[in-house]
Amino acid sequence: MNRFKDRFVDVLVLIVGVCALMMTVSALTNLTYADLLFSF
């Protein structure tokens, strides 16, 4: 049971990390798109 809980926490941390990474990438790309629009 304890091993299962540790595995669950690992998966949860992985999901949160992936979500944070995707949000960061989308924020960076949005910033880049905005910079491109303003440059024209």
Q: How far is CA 38 from the centre of its chain?
A: 26
pLDDT at 36: 72
* Measured distance CA(11)–CA(5) in Å, rounded: 10
Query: Given this model, what pLDDT does residue 13 score?
Result: 97
pLDDT tens, residue order, the chain (40 aa): 688 889 999 999 999 999 999 999 888 888 777 777 776 6
Q: Cα(20)–Cα(16) distance, rounded to whole angstroms?
A: 6
**Whole-number pLDDT of residue 40:** 62
Q: What is the per-residue pLDDT for 17? A: 96
